[in-house]
Amino acid sequence: MNNEKQLLSKDDLVMAYEDAKRILVELDKILIGRPELHRLVLIGILSRGHILLEGLPGVGKTALIKTLGCLLGLKFSRVQFTPDLMPGDILGAYILQQAADGRRETEFRPGPIFTNILLADEINRASPKTQSALLEAMQEKCVTLMGNTRKLPEPFFVLASQNPIELEGTYALPEAQLDRFLFKLEVSAASVETMKTIISSRRHGEPPLPSFEVSPERLDKLFTIMDKIYLSDAVADYIARLVDATSPFSETAMTKVKDYVQYGASPRAAIAVAESARGVALLAGRPTVGFKDVKEVFVPALNHRVLLNYKARFEGITARNLLEEILEKVSVADLDISDDISLKEK
């Protein structure tokens, strides 16, 4: 492999690092008290992935997604998911119209999904039929209705919020749809200090608007630079080992994994870890992905992709518990990143 072709110019890397940090600082300024959550959400966007936020009502999930949409200067649509929401309410529908000459013809009316950022608010309050309508859009970035396929705008993200499944009137997302989300992030309640600051500075609870917007050209440049972040064979091997360790059928699986896991993570999960690890490297201003970058995103990228059995649920074992233990058990001692990787200067 020619390492030099995979690397960035120093100027491009510095520009992308400064832009990403500027976005992160603005998020932290507008939305108070959750810097780690903001960091992971930005990593997910830079990785061009969909993100699922889970938390109780009122903890700021929707505010975070709306602020991010404004900050990135992207077209934004919001759909409030309810039990009576139908697939056509999201995707669009064909309407029978009468032309000027008296003929009847069908006209396509695009739904709110034809946007850059779709806020799927309380996604698990809709029926499984409506939830599944998003599958093609999330994976293929297109919508098919009545045999006609239409491309969605670029870039396209689904940023969804959901309430904990224990709440009344919720429907668990199907595994196939959960696998389309790059991250599942938990939004916890604000601390006392954070609530005090919000009460003092936000009269009506609404966060202020961002002080700047990222231009479309600048955002495209960020995505291009992300693609050039170098991931070595050693790091790829480490990711493959970690994902393989989540399967109860793997020869290297821990006893706990064999006891509590019904199905492990898929190859799509390995791709998600690799892509998001590039985002961690970019936020650190580095042109290459390291083992620490992988460790930072491993749990949020896989905690919704590991399906536990009834024994685990009965004993209170969570996917996060197992994934954190896998991180401790899978060693990097015998993996070395080659020392011939250097920043390409122009």
- Comparing 250 with 207, which gets the higher pLDDT? 250
Cα–Cα distance for residue pair 146/140, rounded to 1 Å: 17
pTM of the model: 0.86
Lookup: tokens for 298:
């491993």
Under a CB-based contact definition with an 8 Å cutoff, are residues 80 and 306 in contact?
no
In this prediction, residue 166 has a pLDDT band, given cuts at 50, 70 and 90, of: low
**Closest by CA position to 59, among listed 81, 26, 37:** 37
Q: What's residue 34's pLDDT?
A: 83
Least confident window among 54-68, 231-245, 272-286 = 54-68
The pLDDT tens digits of the residues spanning 80-90 come to: 998 899 999 99
Cα–Cα distance for residue pair 248/263, rounded to 1 Å: 7
Q: What is the chain's percent helix, strand, coil content, to nearest 5?
A: 45, 15, 35
Q: What's residue 168's pLDDT?
A: 62
The 8-class DSSP code of residue 24 comes to H
Lookup: tokens for 175:
């595994």
Q: What's residue 340's pLDDT?
A: 40
The mean pLDDT value for 26-44 works out to 88
The pLDDT tens digits of the residues spanning 315-339 come to: 999 999 999 999 999 887 666 554 4
The mean pLDDT value for 141-149 works out to 87
The mean pLDDT value for 55-80 works out to 82
Neighbours of 2 (CB within 10 A): 6
Beta-carbon contacts of residue 213 (< 8 Å; ≥ 6 apart):
70, 71, 72, 73
The mean pLDDT value for 146-172 works out to 82
Beta-carbon contacts of residue 118 (< 8 Å; ≥ 6 apart):
77, 78, 79, 112, 156, 157, 158, 159
φ, ψ of residue 148 to 5 degrees: the values are: -105, 130
Burial of 120 (C-beta count, 10 Å sphere; 0-12/13-18/19+): buried
Q: What's residue 346's pLDDT?
A: 36
In this prediction, residue 167 has a pLDDT band, given cuts at 50, 70 and 90, of: low
Lookup: tokens for 280:
């961690």
Residue with tokens 């009316």: 109
The 8-class DSSP code of residue 111 comes to -
Average pLDDT, the chain: 85
- Comparing 133 with 170, which gets the higher pLDDT? 133
- Whether 306 shows a pLDDT value over 90: the answer reads yes
In this prediction, residue 30 has a pLDDT band, given cuts at 50, 70 and 90, of: confident
The 8-class DSSP code of residue 179 comes to T
- Whether 100 shows a pLDDT value over 80: the answer reads no
Q: What's residue 332's pLDDT?
A: 74
In this prediction, residue 341 has a pLDDT band, given cuts at 50, 70 and 90, of: very low
Cα–Cα distance for residue pair 111/92, rounded to 1 Å: 4
The pLDDT tens digits of the residues spanning 181-235 come to: 999 998 877 778 877 877 777 666 667 778 888 888 888 899 999 999 999 999 9
Under a CB-based contact definition with an 8 Å cutoff, are residues 120 and 133 in contact?
no
In this prediction, residue 3 has a pLDDT band, given cuts at 50, 70 and 90, of: very low
Beta-carbon contacts of residue 236 (< 8 Å; ≥ 6 apart):
274
In this prediction, residue 7 has a pLDDT band, given cuts at 50, 70 and 90, of: low
Q: How far is CA 67 from CA 6, 57, 76, 268, 283, in A?
A: 33, 17, 10, 29, 20
Q: What's residue 28's pLDDT?
A: 85
In this prediction, residue 343 has a pLDDT band, given cuts at 50, 70 and 90, of: very low
Cα–Cα distance for residue pair 146/102, rounded to 1 Å: 24
